[in-house]
Amino acid sequence: MAFARLEREAWTDPGVATAYAELWREFVEPAIPRLLDAAQVAAGDRVLDVAAGPGPVGRAAAARGAEALALDFSWPMLQSIGPALPRIQGDAGHLPLRDASVDRVVSNLGLLHFPEPQRALAEAARVVRPGGVVAFSVWGADATALGVVPAALTSLGLTSPYPSAPGFFLFGEPGVFEAAMRSAGLVPLPTERISWNGTVRGFEAFWRMFRSGSARTRASILALSEGDQSRLRGEVTRQLEPYRTVDGLSFPTTVVVGRGRRP
Ligand SMILES: C[S@@+](CC[C@H](N)C(=O)[O-])C[C@H]1O[C@@H](n2cnc3c(N)ncnc32)[C@H](O)[C@@H]1O
């Protein structure tokens, strides 16, 4: 599937892994304690962090006294974690773990990158123990930073050929997570929304987050000619005006956390 290839090629590129680890951390980190609360992670729990990337969720779980395992299909991403956490190279759709072998499965902003998100939820349901909790977060549709480059592309009338993929904001829509948890064999827990102001140091950092440290948006940018990329930079600068602060940029940001308990 073209989308699966696009995602794998992006995240396994060492340049993308480095840019993501360097640039997204500050933006994403404020939501992580609340994601761990939503997943009911406590000291002593064995926690699988799926699509761990540079490991902010696993590190925070370990700081709570949990035994965290970081799983990602990208070795460059896992390398950026270093040896602080046990690392497992594997695919969210085929978890290399035994049935009922962990207490919690968490995933921060992974689901919208999977070609078969329902399969990843079913795998999480398989590896969590009875009574254990699965919690997956996705961007909310009102995560303003995520809309800037797409809005700038639209306003310039630029389109890039893009493989068909599950909707980026699909799981943020009411009822979708609950139904997906049920289909995975889990008892849905109430979906949570986590909101905060995501900060970015300035325009160059923002541009590099998307131009070098993302998958779908990066592909849309790289498909453009150099001239169109330069026009896009100009339009993005204009669209960032409402988010400027004395320190850089600040964006109202939301993630939606779908949760389920294994019966
Ligand atoms: C947006 S990053 C999120 C990283 C991390 N959870 C965080 O909060 O910063 C998405 C991660 O998903 C990983 N990923 C994407 N598709 C995957 C798959 N099918 N199986 C395992 N990991 C995957 C990528 O390698 C990347 O590290």
Please state the rounded mean pLDDT for residues 141-154.
95
CB atoms within 10 A of CB 230: 10
Residues linked to residue 71 through DSSP beta bridges, in sequence order: 50, 88
**This prediction's pTM:** 0.97
170 and 114 Cβ atoms separated by less than 8 Å: no
Q: Could you write out the DSSP letters of every residue in 169-222?
A: TGGGSTTHHHHHHHHTT-EEEEEEEEEEEEEES-HHHHHHHHHHS-SHHHHHHH
Domain spanning 2-142+165-199+253-261, CATH class: alpha beta
Q: Which atom of ligand 1 is nearest to the CA of 215?
A: 1
Return mean pLDDT, the chain.
Answer: 96
pLDDT digits (tens, 9 = 90+) for 49-90: 999 999 999 999 999 999 999 999 999 999 999 999 999 999
Shortest-distance Cα residue to atom 8 of ligand 1: 108
Ligand 1 centroid distance, CA of 44 (Å): 25
Chain position carrying tokens 């330069």: 230
Domain boundaries along the sequence of the chain = 2-142+165-199+253-261
pLDDT for the residue numbered 164: 81
Name residues contacting ligand 1 (CB within 6 A).
7, 11, 24, 28, 51-53, 56-57, 72-74, 77, 91-93, 108-110, 113-114
pLDDT digits (tens, 9 = 90+) for 89-120: 999 999 999 999 999 999 999 999 999 999 99
Tokens at 80, concatenated: 């950026």
pLDDT for the residue numbered 160: 74
Confidence grade of residue 39 (pLDDT, cut at 50, 70, 90): very high
